[in-house]
Each structure stands twice: as structure tokens, then as C-alpha cells.
Amino acid sequence: MPIKVVDQLPAVEALSAENVFVITESRARMQDIRPLRIAILNLMPNKVATEIQLLRLLANSPLQVDVELIRLDNHVSKHTPESHLNCFYRYFSDVQQQNYDGLIITGAPLGLVDYEDVSYWPQLSEILAWADRHVTSTLFLCWAAHAALYYYYGLQREIRGDKLSGVYWQKVVQPLCPLVRGFDDSFLVPHSRYAQVPKQKYQQHADIHVLAEADVTGAYLLQNSSGSRIFVTGHPEYDLTTLNDEYIRDVAAGLNPKVPENYFRDNDPAKGPMKLWQSHAFLLFSNWLNYYVYQATPFDLSRVGEGRNA
């Protein structure tokens, strides 16, 4: 089944070229079904690229998904044209009275900035509190995952000695959990971050369950007991060239970065990257949509959040 987006969104053309099933808003009006309402709070600098990455994964499902792009009220994007934001995004203040079946909050390039020093931390905190009352399940990616763990549980990250950059094997440690249903025992995921939360800190909270991890990356996939909060500390949504683009950017900035590990053929940037994580990325998003959103959300969206402990 397709995802539904605004007719003129640039991602439509890019995804259609990949044979990804996308229908426009005008066509969807002719269908008489109850689609899932998924909001995306896109904090990444290149919002158009991230839109394509996430919509590609959401489209790989038998469920129809209506996607709404959300922006912060008082944050000015430096890398995405204001015309694009005005056309395709809605301010959080305009939707905060609404309910959603699911919410995705992306990462952000803020790995070395204290949470409280982030300019939009007050509104992000407001959104995290709002999600517990207005969203059936929220999926947090990379920086957003660590920020949410800090907000909800007070778990402070630790800054690594060097940036974690590359594609790393993850081991499933809770194979009976629906979120990893169908996963191989080990699977690959891109990571790109400076921070990490030690495992012993997770173990202090009975509400946090680690589903997949690795020694080098720490916990990769976590959830709370109810499944209303899903924490993904890597970037399963990344395109083939995303890590390469970041590496080139860091080289140009004089940061002397390490070559992303397990990413280029023979670990040689001149030979180009390999994409070895896409199948598990599709499965992760499909499992989330099915087991944590579709199977858990009420048919009447006005009932989202009823009886939930914030």
C-alpha cells in the first residue's frame, strides 16, 4: 500500500523513479479507508534528503500512511529553502491539538552540544511531553534517541574520544520482541555520532529494554515497556552515499576524520561505498508500523493516550 503526501512534494518524483508506491493527496481522497496518520519532526539540516529517506521506508508496508511534516515554531533552517518549509511543513503550534498514530523525530547535528544549550530544547521538550498524550508510538532516531532518553529518564550521554562513523554489526538480544521479528541474529546499521550512553545506565531503568546492541556501538535499538517510545541510536534510513557525504564534508572542514568503518569497498574511499543495511531498515520500519502503531492505535484517534502513564 502507498504513503500519502502532498501532491508537489519533491520526494514524490524521486521515490516514483525508484518504483516506490506513493499516492498524492488528490488521489487519496477517492479512497474510503482509515489510513495511519504519521507525523515527522525533521531536525536534519538537509530536510529534502531526509524526507526521501524516511518516506522510502514508510512506503514498504501494506498499510496506507498519511504523512505530515512538522517544523519547530521558532527555529530557522539554514540548509532548506524557506519556500519548501512554508509549502510542505506545518508548525508544531498548528498541530499540537491533534492526535497521531505515529511520530518520527529525526537526528540532528548536535552531538557536541549540551541538550540544555540547544536553542530549541524548550520546544522539543514540549513536543516530547505532548507525544505521550497525543501519539500512539514515537520513533526517535540517533541524536533524538539520546535526547529523548535524557528527557524521559535523565540518562546523560558520554562523549566518545572520536566520532563513531561507519556501518557496524548489531546483535539481536531480545529475539521474541515484535520490533525485531524476522531479523537475522546479526545485522548491519550505519552510525554517525559522537555520543554514547553506557549500558549500565540503561540497566538502572526497568522501563528500558535493549533489543539490539554491539560492543563498539553500544545499545542500538531500545524501547520502553509499552512500545510507545522506540529509540534507534543509529541511522537505518541513510542512503548509500550519506556517510560518504559526511566524510567529505568533515575533510573539507579540516576535522581530519577517520574513514567510515566497514563502509567503502576494501575500506578504500576511492572504490566507493556498499549499501548493506537496507533490508533490515525496511523490516524495522515495517514492524514498527504494524506492531507498535497499527495494532496498538485506537480506530478513533481522539482516544490516543487514554490510560497511558506519562
Annotated catalytic residue, options 142, 146, 191, 209? 142
237 is catalytic: yes
79 is catalytic: no
User: Do the annotations mark residue 225 as ligand-binding?
Assistant: no
With vertex at residue 107, the alpha carbon angle to CA 162 and CA 187, rounded to the nearest 5 degrees, is 70
Annotated catalytic residue, options 191, 237, 246, 280? 237
Count the residues in the chain: 310
**Of 58, 13, 287, whose CA–CA distance to 175 is shortest?**
287
Q: Which is it for the CA torsion 123, 129, 133, 134, positive or negative? A: positive
Annotated catalytic residue, options 134, 146, 209, 235? 235
User: Do the annotations mark residue 163 as ligand-binding?
Assistant: yes
User: Do the annotations mark residue 137 as ligand-binding?
Assistant: no
**Of 128, 68, 134, 69, whose CA–CA distance to 101 is shortest?**
134
Q: What are the residues whose beta carbons fall under 8 Å from the beta carbon of 228, sequence distance 6 or more?
A: 132, 135, 136, 137, 138, 292, 308
Output the known binding site. Answer: 163, 192, 249
Which residues are catalytically annotated? 142, 235, 237
Q: Known binding site for substrate: residues?
A: 163, 192, 249
